[in-house]
Structure 1
Amino acid sequence: MIGPGGAGGRTSLRRPGFNRNPPCGDVMRENRTRFILLGMLELGPSHGYGLRQRIDESVGQFWQESWGQLYPTLRSLLSEGLIEEVEPGEEGTDMPRGRQSRVYCITDAGRAALAEWLAGDATPSVKRDELLLRTFFAHNGDPASLRRNIEASRDRVRLALARVEASQRMIAASETYLDRLDWWAMTARHGELQLRAHLQWCDEALALLDGGGER
């Protein structure tokens, strides 16, 4: 990953083609929010709070959404004809009749927009991990502080893994949405493998702090 640099023996960490000016985070987030909402409404009509719950319980495990974007994006989708309002209590909605919240459903144009997005290329994720930054520069600091941070990360990841495993059990037991369960299971499997790898890394890093790791 890191090797001798050019003149003066400097080390270069810059990757070829690295973009110093990536797209604005708010713009990127809003674009993805559109398709997350369309995908959730493809499961069935819902109101704003119901959509937030759906996101929290599914893609929220690997995609942190900005809730401030939810209602403005719903209004945008509505004005573009990609979703439409339906009466609460209609068949397929998750809110009883008489409640005041607006209930939305996806339109044919919305399904086409979702399919068009899925046919495109995924944007590579921007990796930002403060724990790895602290580990990289650990020789400048106190080993006890690094240990505290690694142990805290390990505890959080253990909880996250328990949630993923609970999701996997729910997917395996589900008798609905049979046409998409395999892909939901594959998404959860990705999360499981990442979390298990992080736990293994934590164990190895703690062993190194204890003087038992290989150099």
Structure 2
Amino acid sequence: MKNYNHTTYAILGILTTECKSGYAIKQLIDQSLNHFWKISYGQIYPTLKLIVEEGLATVDTSTQEGKPDRKEYYLTSKGIDVLKSWLEQPIEQIPIERNEVLLKLFFGRHQRKEHSILLLNDYKQKLETRYQTYKSIEQVITTHNRGEDSQYWLFTLDFGKRMTQAAIEWCNSTLKQLENKEELK
């Protein structure tokens, strides 16, 4: 079976939900996947075109008065098989996080201690905002039960919440160490 990129698999997965148009796919990405998997708007339509060309989905076009034609995409049995096959494959590697705060802190001896503290406090505030966003998303999912997908969406959300909480705790610990260290510049 042919291998596709992760964007293709992500869009195949999205097509198993009620999201059938490029616009609806982008909305779902912005509201949920974007917290752990980035897909730009410019990737969606070329990927949908590829999925149709490969026979993984069909497209139904409907005319809308005063608007561009609406295209809705539906997985074929081949598309479902490709998605299931990919889901059953082991992960290729543990994800590597690119974190600007860690990069700057790694070279922190070359900046003033106060700046390192300011950097960490700002990062911590952004993490706390993200955590609140996750809690809001959780409330929406649990309030508007989305069927069989809900439990799995909550699993990924729980991962994000736990990772964010761990990062906040790391900030607190690191800030405490920085504030207690006298010789830092």
TM range, smaller chain:
0.7 to 0.9
Look up the match of 1:111.
80
Q: Match for 2:37 among 54, 57, 63?
A: 63
Which of the two has greater helix per residue? 2
Runs of 4+ in 1 over 6 A off after TM superposition: none
TM-score (norm 2): 0.86
Gaps of 5+ in 2: none
Q: Name the residue aligned to 1:43.
A: 17
Greater mean alpha carbon deviation, residues 200-209 or residues 98-107: 98-107
Match in the other structure for 1:163: 133
Identity of aligned residues (%): 25
Aligned partners of 1:45 and 1:106 also within 8 Å:
no
Matched residues in 2 for 1:211 and 1:189: separation?
33
Give the secondary structure class of the aligned counterpart of 2:5: helix
Query: Whose relative contact order is higher, 1 or 2, with alpha carbons under 8 Å and at least 6 apart?
Result: 2
**Does the CA-based 8 Å contact 2:57-2:79 persist in structure 1?**
yes
**Partner Cα distance (1:88, 1:36) in 2:** 25
2:169 to 188, 197, 200: 200
Give the distance between the partners of 1:197 and 1:161, measured in 2 at CA.
11
TM-score, length basis structure 1: 0.75
**1:91-140 deviation digits (Å, cap 9, x = unpaired):** xxxxxx54423221211111111001001111321222221122222122
1:117-174 alpha-carbon deviations (Å, 9 max, x no partner): 0011113212222211222221222112212221221121111111111111122223
Q: 1:109 to 1:82 in 2, by over 3 A?
A: same
Counterpart CA distance in 2 for 1:156 and 1:170 is 21
Q: 1:209 to 1:166 in 2, by over 3 A?
A: same
Tell me, in whole angstroms, the C-alpha distance in 1 between the residues paired with 2:75 and 2:26: 16
Give 1:131's aligned amino acid: V
Greater Cα offset, 191-200 or 142-151? 142-151
Larger Rg belongs to: 1
Count of aligned positions: 177
Post-superposition CA distance 1:167-207 (Å, at most 9, x none)? 11122223331x23222111111000000011111111221
Alignment-derived partner of residue 182 in structure 1: 151
CA distance in 2, matches of 1:31, 1:44: 22
d(CA) in 2 for partners of 1:136, 1:78: 46
Match of 1:84 among 55, 58, 61: 58
Q: Which moved more, 1:80-89 or 1:58-67?
A: 80-89
CA distance in 2, matches of 1:121, 1:174: 32
Which structure dedicates a bigger proportion of its chain to strand? 2
The answer to whether the aligner puts 1:147 opposite 2:117 as a matched pair is yes
Partner Cα separation in structure 2 for residue 118 and residue 81 of structure 1: 19
Partner Cα separation in structure 1 for residue 91 and residue 109 of structure 2: 37
